[in-house]
Amino acid sequence: MSAKLSMDKLSIGCVCLPGGSIGNHTGAWRSMMPVFKHAACIGCRACELVCPEGCVFENPGKKHLVEKLKREIADRDFDPDYCKGCGMCAEECPVDDIDMGLEEK
Amino acid sequence: MAPQGRQEILEGAMAVAHAVARCRPEVIAAYPITPQTHISEELSTIVADGELQAEFVKVESEFGAASVCLGASAAGARAYTATSSQGLMLMAEVLWNIAGMRLPVVLACANRSVSAPLSIWCDHQDADSIRDCGVIQLHAEDAQEAVDQHVIAFKAAEDRRVLLPVMVNLDGFLLTHVFEPVELPDQALCDAFLGKYEALYKLDPGDPMSFGCFTEPDKCMEGRWMIHDACLRSAAVIEEVSAAFARTFGRNSGGLLEEYKSADADTVLVAKGSICGTIKDVVDELRDKGRRVGLVRIKTFRPFPRDRIVAAVRGAKRITVVEKGGSFGSGGVVTPELKDALYDAGLRIPVSGFCVQLGGREVAPDGIQEIIDRVEKGEQVHYEYFRLKKAILPDLVP
Ligand code: SF4
Ligand code: SF4
């Protein structure tokens, strides 16, 4: 019924449709920023699952060789528009392949 | 069930429950608390007996009750709850959300003192302390008004120009537990008056949406302003709905204010709730002796009827607010709002504020008369705990 509800133009009760909060760029909250090292990552997806912003993704076409496994694994990266720097991905990564660094603005 | 035009002797809370049933809420959720309990207890019986097709949700707390009403209203149902005192405090967080999501939930507050010290008796500090959250607040003087204001509440809340929760205040025990002659609204008239609730937006798995979404600082103020604006504009809707109610049911129970012999009064009292019955008796007695005294009764406290109050009191020589509440460390609640309105209107009429009846202490007509005598002798009081018993205070209090 309400094809265009989003948070760009407010509605009564600030109602929006799925995806309607896409304009809320939580990246502006960040002081720390993750660095995905693409070295030891085994592709377990823990970072994708724990990210509260759902902004970690598999970067299509980008891969790194994991020597221990002797095969290539798809790179994980994050969307800086939405990453709020919480550090959960780095905390949960089982092979320590994500660092958190201070972001200079 | 009484046909139109027939009065029954009913307990206030029971009468409210039957009036609510005639408004046909589809979801009712409530948690027992004195002195509200008879309302929700009776409604659960009405639902269990099959007299009302509604979901009565038993909840673990008032937080749960308000949350169920929020969800039900967002899903497009007419939703109702009732509470008092601590229960209202526990609902507070959800009430802000209900107002912000613009959901027309109706609730009753059987006004009761807030702990501590523990008291189950009536004052207005429960309702007054949630005045800022966007809930429209009506105040009843007697059981009939409490009944009628519920019908008005549903109609005004669901108006597309409003879409805000409405709370009907009725004084705990003084109105909830007293048997009075009451005329219940006729079912057929009630159905025609209210119609079916049609939500502007509703939760539906087939057309998913979120309510009260996150706003960045660049939009939050506009989200808040819409609540303020709708609440202010609801004043006109409340008057319109109240007039329509009077035409349909033949009773003048709604509106923003009642002006009782105040038009030519030198001393105007301002109050809300059941104490106005006592004040009117005193006004009548003093009028018989030729004293120009009147009452302006606040029937709608939110939105605050600034312009109407200023117009009603502008001829007075002095104004005395008699309130069952206050803000610790500041003063009254009604008193400063009235002064604010007068100041902006350029009126410097002396205003006194008296705090009475906290925790249910009785103020008989002689108390009201004493207040009037004092202000008429020229006393002006910022905010006074009336007839405070200093003798029972501990020695540590200077
Ligand atoms: S720091 Fe937090 S928000 Fe950013 S990518 Fe990692 S988990 Fe997501
Ligand atoms: S948690 Fe670490 S190992 Fe797992 S996918 Fe993310 S970066 Fe790779």
Least confident of A14-23, B250-259, B346-355, B359-368: A14-23
Residue B64 has what pLDDT?
98
**Cβ distance of A24 and B214 shorter than 8 Å:** yes
Residue A41 has what pLDDT?
96
- Amino acid residing at B43: L
Whether B96 has its CB under 8 Å from any CB of chain A: the answer is no
pLDDT confidence band for B50 (50 / 70 / 90): very high
* Arithmetic mean of pLDDT, A8-29: 88
**pLDDT at residue B116 is higher than 70:** yes
* Among B353, B348, B317, residue whose Cα is nearest residue B335: B353
pLDDT confidence band for A5 (50 / 70 / 90): confident
pLDDT confidence band for A1 (50 / 70 / 90): very low
Spell out a b/e string for A10-43, using b for 16 or more CB atoms within 10 Å of the CB, else e: bbebbbbbeebbeebebbeebeebbebebebbeb
**pLDDT at residue B232 is higher than 50:** yes
Residue B144 has what pLDDT?
98
Q: How far is the CA of A55 from the centre of ligand 1 (A)?
A: 7
Contacts of A12 in chain B (CB under 8 A): 102, 163, 200-201, 226
Ligand nearest, relative to CA of residue A48:
2
Ligand 2, atom 1, residue with closest C-alpha: A93
Least confident of B15-19, B215-219, B258-262, B336-340: B215-219
Determine how many CB atoms are found less than 10 A away from the CB of residue B292: 17
* Arithmetic mean of pLDDT, B196-213: 95
What does the DSSP 8-state code read for residue B391? G
**pLDDT at residue A24 is higher than 90:** no
Q: What is the ipTM of this complex?
A: 0.88
Token pair listed for B240? 């319109």
**pLDDT at residue A39 is higher than 70:** yes
In CATH terms, the fold of domain A27-102 is Alpha-Beta Plaits (3.30.70)
Q: Are the C-beta atoms of B42 and B76 separated by less than 8 Å? A: no
Write the residue in B102, B213, B216 that is nearest to A16 by C-beta.
B213
Determine how many CB atoms are found less than 10 A away from the CB of residue B345: 16
Residue A4 has what pLDDT?
67
pLDDT confidence band for B1 (50 / 70 / 90): very low
Interface test with B, best of A2, A14, A84 (most B CBs within 10 A): A14
Q: Are the C-beta atoms of B146 and B168 separated by less than 8 Å? A: yes
Calpha distance B121→B137 (Å, rounded): 20
**Mean pLDDT score across all residues of chain B:** 96
- Name all domains of chain B by residue range, CATH numbers in brackets: 5-249 (3.40.50.970), 257-392 (3.40.50.920)
* Arithmetic mean of pLDDT, B107-114: 98
**Cβ distance of B211 and A14 shorter than 8 Å:** yes
Residue A3 has what pLDDT?
52
Contacts of B215 in chain A (CB under 8 A): 7, 10, 14, 24
Calpha distance B75→B177 (Å, rounded): 34
Write the residue in B209, B214, B219 that is nearest to A15 by C-beta.
B209
Calpha distance B219→A70 (Å, rounded): 51
- Residue-wise pLDDT tens digits, B271-327: 999 999 999 999 999 999 999 999 999 999 999 999 999 999 999 999 999 999 999
Residue A19 has what pLDDT?
85
- Per DSSP, helices labelled H in chain B are 12-22, 37-48, 62-74, 85-100, 125-128, 143-158, 187-194, 217-249, 275-288, 306-313, 334-344, 365-376
For chain A, the domains span: 27-102
- Residue-wise pLDDT tens digits, A81-99: 999 999 999 999 999 999 9
* Arithmetic mean of pLDDT, A10-16: 94
Residue B4 has what pLDDT?
54
* Arithmetic mean of pLDDT, A5-17: 86
Write the residue in B201, B208, B213 that is nearest to A7 by C-beta.
B213
Tell me, using a 6 A CB cutoff, whether residue A86 lines ligand 1.
Answer: yes
* Arithmetic mean of pLDDT, B245-254: 96
* Arithmetic mean of pLDDT, B183-211: 96
Atom of ligand 2 nearest to the CA of A45: 5
- Residue-wise pLDDT tens digits, A67-79: 888 999 999 999 9
Calpha distance B183→B143 (Å, rounded): 10
Percent of chain B scoring above 70 in pLDDT: 99
Handedness of CA B251, B175, B108, B297 (dihedral sign): positive
